[in-house]
């Protein structure tokens, strides 16, 4: 594509409306993070059932990512994104009329398709920009993750004023408007399509590439963990610190907002210093933050010369929120850097590879909330969620060290253009 934009007006128009669409999709995808709290009380759900409820939209949004990426390569992002957005509108509206647990599970699967929009927008946007600016472009688009934070401001206000049933009605109207805006201001370039003779099976051969598997593991943390915690944090604040749902949602946004908005910064950093360097330091910052977040509220008694003395160790709400803020920033940078890997290593197959990696990240966002609930039911310790994620980050750090760090200095010049080999 060269070093300069061939059609700047169309490129930026595509980027803006795609980011808008992705933001709205993420609001819908994370809707259960807020309305799930009153639903849990109404339906009498335990932590495991609540985790499954919040995870259902993530499941469908994850599974659809690979075919969506392939279809985007073949048919173009404009038509695929428009159809995807339109399909979710009826499901979002019907959510307001669900009455029993299985209703929410089934409808959640359909509206969850909105989460697959990432695998459409990533290749669609990237191909409008030259290679040296693709990290920035994909980072800006990925900032649509901030829809998770927008949801935490909008949904509680609607819920408190009109009840939870109004939330899906309003979101359905917003999604319908987004469909119209996206179609009017997006564009198509036939040069961005993969030749029609490319077979489905040929594109899926990427699953045999060990680099792809590694990027999947990285993304299951920085994106899967982001999704899981975005879904889990409101009820965590309510249960752990006894906060009102509106206050809980606002504090939870301290994680969701930087985790989405700063993705664009992570893209620019990856363009400048390389995907390897950014990802390496993201993993270490996440490791430290999760270690501190993992420590449960603890009371212990020590026998002193004056008699027993009781001490308390635990994170107060302010320290907890600060650590979540730092973790959100790290995840934002990491989400961008992983896709910089993909843009560098698979320029002709971005749609397929982003779909596969996005699937792994989405499945992380599906499995983790369920495991959070299971662990809390088994142990009674809410911070067990962070203990689990701490262990997962360990896996990434070890994997990254053996396949990358031994071959290049994390901040060295060689890391900037590193194309990983296993």
For the chain, 422 residues long, the average pLDDT of each consecutive 10-residue run is 68 93 91 88 87 88 82 88 94 92 92 87 86 78 83 90 93 96 90 66 70 87 88 88 89 83 79 84 94 89 87 89 94 86 77 77 86 90 92 88 68 44 42
Specify the residue for token string 């590439």. Answer: 209
CATH number at 330 reads: 1.20.1250.20
Residue 1 forms part of a structural domain:
no
- Can you state the percent helix, strand and coil of the chain, rounding each to 5? 80, 5, 15
Residue 3 forms part of a structural domain:
no
Specify the residue for token string 């077979």. Answer: 199
Q: In the chain, how many domains are there? A: 1
pTM of the model: 0.75
Category of 242 on φ-ψ map: left (φ > 0), alpha (ψ -120 to 50) or beta: left
Residue 105 forms part of a structural domain:
yes
pLDDT of residue 336: 82
Residue 179 forms part of a structural domain:
yes
pLDDT of residue 4: 63
pLDDT of residue 136: 79
The DSSP symbol for 422 reads -
Residue 276 forms part of a structural domain:
yes
Residue 420, both tokens? 């990983």
CA–CA gap between residue 361 and residue 351 (Å, rounded): 15
Residue 421 forms part of a structural domain:
no
Residue 6, both tokens? 């061939």
pLDDT of residue 203: 58
Please name the residues in contact with 214: beta carbons below 8 A apart, sequence gap of 6 or more: 399, 400, 403, 420, 422
Residue 45 forms part of a structural domain:
yes
Residue 411 forms part of a structural domain:
yes
- Parent domain of 165: 8-415
CA–CA gap between residue 243 and residue 257 (Å, rounded): 20
Nearest 5°: phi and psi at 130?
-70, 160
């Amino acid at each position: 594509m060269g070093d300069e934009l061939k059609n700047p007006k169309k490129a930026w128009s595509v980027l803006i409306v795609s980011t808008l669409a992705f933001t709205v999709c993420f609001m819908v995808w994370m809707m259960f993070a807020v309305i799930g709290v009153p639903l849990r009380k109404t339906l009498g759900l335990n932590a495991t059932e609540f985790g499954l409820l919040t995870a259902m939209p993530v499941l469908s949004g994850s599974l659809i990512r690979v075919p969506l990426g392939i279809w985007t390569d073949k048919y173009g992002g404009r038509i695929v994104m428009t159809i995807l957005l339109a399909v979710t509108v009826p499901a979002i509206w019907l959510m307001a009329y669900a009455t029993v647990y299985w209703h929410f599970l089934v409808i959640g699967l359909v509206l969850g398709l909105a989460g697959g929009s990432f695998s459409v927008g990533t290749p669609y946007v990237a191909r409008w920009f030259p290679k040296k600016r693709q990290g920035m472009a994909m980072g800006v688009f990925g900032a649509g993750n901030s829809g998770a934070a927008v949801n935490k401001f909008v949904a509680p206000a609607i819920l408190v004023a009109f009840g939870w049933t109004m939330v899906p009605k309003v979101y359905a109207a917003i999604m319908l408007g987004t469909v119209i805006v996206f179609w009017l201001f997006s564009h198509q370039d036939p040069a961005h399509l993969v030749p029609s003779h490319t077979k489905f099976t040929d594109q899926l051969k990427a699953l045999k590439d060990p680099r792809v598997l590694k990027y999947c593991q990285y993304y299951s943390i920085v994106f899967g963990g982001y999704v899981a915690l975005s879904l889990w944090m409101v009820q965590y604040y309510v249960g752990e610190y006894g906060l009102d749902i509106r206050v809980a949602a606002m504090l939870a946004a301290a994680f969701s907002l930087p985790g989405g908005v700063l993705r664009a910064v992570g893209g620019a950093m990856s363009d400048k210093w390389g995907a390897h360097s950014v990802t390496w330091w993201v993993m270490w910052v996440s490791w430290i933050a999760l270690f501190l977040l993992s420590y449960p509220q603890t009371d212990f008694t020590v026998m002193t010369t004056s008699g027993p003395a009781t001490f308390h160790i635990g994170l107060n709400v302010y320290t907890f929120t600060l650590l979540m803020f730092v973790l959100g920033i790290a995840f934002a940078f990491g989400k961008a850097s992983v896709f910089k890997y993909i843009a560098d290593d698979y320029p002709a197959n971005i749609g397929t590879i982003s779909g596969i990696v996005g699937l792994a990240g989405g499945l992380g966002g599906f499995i983790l909330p369920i495991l959070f609930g299971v662990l809390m039911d088994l142990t009674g310790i809410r911070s067990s969620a962070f203990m689990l994620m701490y262990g997962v980050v360990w896996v990434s750090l070890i994997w990254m060290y053996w396949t990358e760090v031994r071959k290049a200095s994390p901040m060295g010049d060689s890391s900037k253009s590193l194309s990983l080999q296993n």
